[in-house]
Amino acid sequence: MSTAPKRGMFRGQWYRDLETLPDRGADIETSFETPASRVKPEIQRLRDRPGSYHLFAAKACPFAHRVLLMLANLPQPALGITYCHPWLGGPEGWSFAPGSAPPVGEDVLWKVYAASDPAYSGRITVPVLWDKTAGAIASADSLEIMQALAAAYRPEMCPEDAAFAKLCIWIHQHLNIGVYKVGFAADQAAYNAAVDALDSAMDKVAELVASGFAFGTSPTIADLMIFATGIRFDIAYHGAFQILHRRWGGNKALQQHLERIAALPGVEDTLAFQDYRVHYFDEAGFPVRQPMSTGRYILPRTCDPL
């Protein structure tokens, strides 16, 4: 069973099941890279004419949530936002919430990708930063969008420091994607390895935030990246990804950091707990909840009673 998400586009066509096509690569890291952008965000224009850009997001998605958290920490740029419905089980993937009036894409997100590149092959995911002037996707990479917004409005949230850049990449690979490596584990060995790696990552993050913030003495995009995973952990990942042996709230440092970021102005408006439940539990896409080729199921890590 492939660990790569099934849905996406191939040569400009949408497919609900890409496994019917030649293998695009089953590596989970590769599957989270979305090579969609045809142009790059222009920082000066983003600052001076934010209305020339439009954001496609979903409160359910942690990667889109990172960008929404960034926007919550900015002086409210006039950036239009189209939200997607949290349920991914429909025949066309991400669909727009009722009443949406996006500048492109009609009613589903894959049409935004097609409008940008009629021959696009890859995942269809939020967030998407649409350049209305160029008529193209400026970025479908959440970290890149966060960095662009920080550069335009609050550069102190993304310090120009090699150690900080390295930290953000580490958080993305080992924590943000780390939970998905567990959820997309296709067999017992992969699950065990992914859980061990996630345990180590969570312990390191707890050390990072024990005295306040992940880098320096004020919030940065690194804290927002941690928060996007932490706010979903107990409500969704714990059950849906069968990470049953620990809770985010069970670690004092992690929980205090979660509450610290949640208290920042505007953050509460980005939260949607019921969306998280719909997105992760009303979804058949996670191999960890399906039988293996042997007919048996992955045994989750659980706590012994004594």
The pLDDT value recorded for residue 23 is: 56
User: In whole angstroms, what is the distance from residue 201 CA to residue 217 CA?
Assistant: 21
First to last CA, the chain: 36
Question: Strand, helix or coil at 265?
Answer: coil
User: In whole angstroms, what is the distance from residue 95 CA to residue 86 CA?
Assistant: 8
* Higher local confidence (pLDDT), 211 or 35: 211
Domains and CATH numbers, the chain: 8-153 (3.40.30.10), 155-289 (1.20.1050.10)
pLDDT tens for each residue of 7-48 = 888 888 898 887 766 555 555 555 555 666 778 999 999 999
Q: How confident is the model at residue 266 (pLDDT cuts 50, 70, 90)?
A: very high
- Give the burial string for 253-283 (b: 16+ CB within 10 Å, else e): ebbebbeebeeeeebeebebeebbbbbbeee
| Sign of the alpha-carbon torsion through 44, 48, 51, 57 | positive
The residue-averaged pLDDT of 218-229 equals 98
pLDDT tens for each residue of 75-111 = 877 799 999 999 988 899 999 999 999 999 999 999 9
